[in-house]
Amino acid sequence: MYTNNACRSARCLAIVVVGFFCGEVAAKDHNVTVAIHVSSQGLDLSQPADAQTFYKRLRRAAWAACTSGNRIDLVPLDDPQACYEMALGNAIRSLHLPVLTNLYFASHTREQAAACGIDVTLQAAAEK
């Protein structure tokens, strides 16, 4: 599970990527990678409302990637909630935008952030 990003001027693109297993009853299981592109096109991430909108897009993409993957033939994960948390955390870490990191910290602990490699010093700086 990993996330890639590209930020150019006012436009950001995050890619929420999750590894899945898929297979048929008679066939051997295969690894499948689900990638969902999340664009900030039309949003100004320096504005709180737009940052919130983008954060919601990331959350929806992480949930979709960890549940259906927008495909009905994927075998469900044993723990989609853990997958979702890791996918969202990785997206926030890779984007490395303080406004999104602060939104993440509004509903997550330092321990959850650290598990995804998010710099917890950003939260400490925001609290001051």
pTM as predicted:
0.73
> CA 54 to CA 86: how far, in whole Å?
18
- Structural domain boundaries in the chain: 2-127
Distance of CA 8 to the CA centre of its chain: 19
Token couple for 69: 């993957």
Distance of CA 22 to the CA centre of its chain: 21
Task: Give me the tens of pLDDT residue by residue for the chain, a chain 128 residues long.
Answer: 444 444 443 445 565 655 544 444 444 556 667 778 888 888 898 899 999 999 999 999 888 888 876 666 667 777 888 888 988 998 998 888 889 999 999 999 888 888 888 887 755 555 54
